[in-house]
Structure 1
């Protein structure tokens, strides 16, 4: 008889068969006492024992055979009621601490009488992980293109997303080689051979790939070729998950072209900014030189204006002196005129004296001897009259000279006065003009200083603009890099 760890209920062949099973088998009698555990279930529970004890303090693998299955339950009453009503196999998943187990409980019946229960244990982690993997694969299949290849590149299967992207039906590509999606030149290249050698070596390949659809149109995909290992550790097949990025690549090409145009424009802007900055620098220097010259000119004009003011004062003095001399000359002329009258009176008196002397001479001659003394006096008087006449003529000549000279002096003084008047007016006009020019030059100097400051500010602003253009160029470069990353 076969002994179940001391029991003789089963033949030896059945015992050996249960021990050889990979399935995790536990048997309990009708009273729910554990009477058998094969090596597989023993190994499973031994591995989980530390975690089971945290949840079930009474659990001990060493004393499990001979114990009641109540040891696995916090509420044994519920379990017993369920087993009492069981007439067919029942599956359940139980959680003990962090561990989860799948159980299949089957009643054992002999001659219509229940003799016990057989319990098949399984670690739920593998099943749940497989369910999770399956769900992930289904999710990937809904959102991504997927195709499977044999290690030599023969197409095994493809989902609808992949077929839609490439424009093929499944039967059109099944059994054909991956090379139908690349150019003949690339299919014959060493790179393509190395690509598949790498996959057959178990290394995945992930990148952006350029492929061609049924109609020869270019297709860009972002994806990964993933080698799947078989039980023998060798690559059994290659699964590819991919996303169609054709539109993104077209946008990237367009963006690259636009960025190229922007970069060219930025380069021109930078060159123009450099030229303007250089011109502004030169202009600033010129304006500063002009400002200095304007200040010097303003100083010179101020000096000239001061000299003109002194000239105007001197001219006014000369004009006043000329006026005074003119008045004195006029007085002299008037005096000469008056002297002419006096000379005429003297001439008249001298003539009368001369006539009187003539008459006295005549009378002295008539008187004879008696008139000799009177004749001498008459002769002296006549001599005086002659001298007075000569003196009068001389005085008349001098007075005429004085009058002529006075007239000439008066004419010259009039000419001088007119010239001085013209000079005075010219000096006054020049002085006023110089004052106005000085005001204008001072304004120009001030404005030039402002312009110089403005040009310096513009030069600084241009430097800022040049820096901004340079930064914009760097930003454009970063934008291009970012665009490539976005496509990836």
Structure 2
């Protein structure tokens, strides 16, 4: 009827009316040749032309009018068979590249015979997108607690998950204000008023919230408050999606207590490690000082040992000299004794001479004048004998004194020999002791050096322990942050 209108004016009016429709209309004759495209379908096809051409090489907007609808199909035979048997409207969705179109094909009948087809096109993108959104929302509704509010916070409706979480029936919450889920102090606070002011301005809010369920039971939720805008950008309502994290928050509280305890222990360990490090540092200095002093002491004792060896050698020489002097003193005493015998002999000779002079004097007196010269000689001999006797007495006194002094010297030398022997023995023992001390001091110096090295190693270990404690402290903090992040 569109090909051969009985009244051309009415035909033009119908075409004009179709052009005004928002519906996208395409008309084909019985042979499936396109005879009409209204403005809406032309605009849609023109907008998608480049993409349609990539999938349908024969498609072209310039030649679309008058072409066969086969240009929309890669394998048109199936489509032709389906249309040939079509006697009522048929809906289908076709995909061309990334595009999806909803089609409604209606056969046109005139006088009992098919005169053509009307095809209504619609871009299926928004419908499919809305279906996807609806499926996502349904999934959210199944998985999360959902509640809707007016802009001022009045409850519109809540899903079963939310009602079950909070322990209410829908009739108990509908029409009431959100403040029924918070304590009185929070409801009166400026932060709570600001919370709803932000939502009314269109700002979404998401955080972890403490809420009160029926009976005042505390509930923790991970909540997202989402303002819903109309086509003018005005907020029409607020939808909250929530997940129950009460168990996680309870666990986090317990974990926080444990981590705080660990943190205190780690802090104490850190302080003790620092104190140990300081103490080891001080000990290192002390051990270094001891090692240095031990080395100096070893050097001093070695020097003393050398001096003691020299003293022992000198004492040995003194002992040998005292022995020699003692031998000479003994010889002197023996000589003094021998001189006493000589003096006795001289004294005896003097006595004999004196006796001889006396006899000579007697004989000279008998001889008279003849014996006067002899008497003079006898007198002189007597005088010499007297002088010899006197000299002998003086010599005897001196020899007695010499013998006494020799005896005293001999006794003194004996005492000196005993003292030198004692000193020699003491010097020997002292030299041996000093030698032993020198060896011990050397060992002490070596031990001090080893201790210094060991303390340095301990210092390094303590520093590593301190660093490890710092790492543990950082790990504890990271664990706490990770736990909080897991709750979120």
Shorter-chain TM band: 0.7 to 0.9
- Residue 433 of structure 1 is matched in structure 2 by 433
SS in 2 for 1:215: helix
Point out the more displaced range, 224-233 or 263-272. 263-272
- Residue 341 of structure 2 is matched in structure 1 by 341
1:197 aligns with 2:197: yes
CA distance in 2, matches of 1:397, 1:198: 143
Residue 127 of structure 1 deviates from its aligned partner by 2.3
1:187 aligns with 2:178: no
CA distance in 1, matches of 2:193, 2:383: 166
CA distance in 2, matches of 1:199, 1:151: 7
Residue 22 of structure 1 deviates from its aligned partner by 4.0
CA distance in 2, matches of 1:232, 1:298: 99
- Residue 226 of structure 1 is matched in structure 2 by 226
Residue 475 of structure 1 deviates from its aligned partner by 4.8
Cα pair distance change 1:303/1:50, threshold 3 Å: closer
Point out the more displaced range, 440-449 or 334-343. 440-449
Point out the more displaced range, 60-69 or 90-99. 60-69
SS in 2 for 1:151: coil
- Residue 128 of structure 2 is matched in structure 1 by 128
1:74 aligns with 2:74: yes
- Residue 243 of structure 2 is matched in structure 1 by 243
- Residue 400 of structure 2 is matched in structure 1 by 400
Cα pair distance change 1:292/1:241, threshold 3 Å: same
CA distance in 2, matches of 1:30, 1:365: 223
Point out the more displaced range, 443-452 or 185-194. 443-452
Q: Provide the aligned length of Structure 1 versus Structure 2.
A: 486
SS in 1 for 2:94: strand
Residue 220 of structure 1 deviates from its aligned partner by 1.7
User: 1:299-310 counterparts in 2 under 5 A?
Assistant: 299-310=299-310
User: 1:72-111 counterparts in 2 under 5 A?
Assistant: 72-109=72-109
Cα pair distance change 1:71/1:309, threshold 3 Å: closer
CA distance in 2, matches of 1:9, 1:196: 65
CA distance in 2, matches of 1:152, 1:343: 156
- Residue 328 of structure 1 is matched in structure 2 by 328
SS in 2 for 1:119: strand
Point out the more displaced range, 288-297 or 119-128. 288-297
**TM-score when scaled to structure 1?**
0.84
CA distance in 2, matches of 1:9, 1:60: 32
Cα pair distance change 1:61/1:371, threshold 3 Å: closer
Contact 1:4-1:36 at 8 Å conserved across structures: no
Cα pair distance change 1:90/1:282, threshold 3 Å: same
Instruction: Specify every segment of 5 or more residues in structure 2 that has no aligned partner in the other structure, as ranges.
Output: none
SS in 2 for 1:67: coil
CA distance in 2, matches of 1:273, 1:19: 88
- Residue 4 of structure 1 is matched in structure 2 by 2
CA distance in 1, matches of 2:354, 2:196: 168
CA distance in 1, matches of 2:369, 2:227: 192
User: 1:331-410 counterparts in 2 under 5 A?
Assistant: 331-358=331-358, 382-410=382-410
C-alpha RMSD over aligned residues: 3.6
CA distance in 1, matches of 2:391, 2:190: 150
Contact 1:5-1:36 at 8 Å conserved across structures: no
SS in 1 for 2:117: strand
CA distance in 2, matches of 1:64, 1:431: 129
User: 1:46-57 counterparts in 2 under 5 A?
Assistant: 46-57=46-57
Cα pair distance change 1:6/1:51, threshold 3 Å: farther
SS in 1 for 2:216: coil
Deviations 1:263-290 (A, max 9, x none): 4445444544554455455545555555
Cα pair distance change 1:282/1:95, threshold 3 Å: closer
Residue 328 of structure 1 deviates from its aligned partner by 0.8
Deviations 1:286-345 (A, max 9, x none): 555555544544444444433333332222222111111111111122222233333344
Deviations 1:120-174 (A, max 9, x none): 3222212221222122223323332222233343333333432333233444434
- Residue 416 of structure 2 is matched in structure 1 by 416
Deviations 1:14-55 (A, max 9, x none): 767755654433333333233444444333323323322333
User: 1:126-165 counterparts in 2 under 5 A?
Assistant: 126-165=126-165
Point out the more displaced range, 27-36 or 469-478. 469-478
1:207 aligns with 2:207: yes
**TM-score when scaled to structure 2?**
0.84
CA distance in 2, matches of 1:388, 1:232: 171
CA distance in 2, matches of 1:242, 1:472: 35
Cα pair distance change 1:52/1:301, threshold 3 Å: closer
SS in 2 for 1:101: strand
Residue 474 of structure 1 deviates from its aligned partner by 4.7
SS in 2 for 1:156: strand
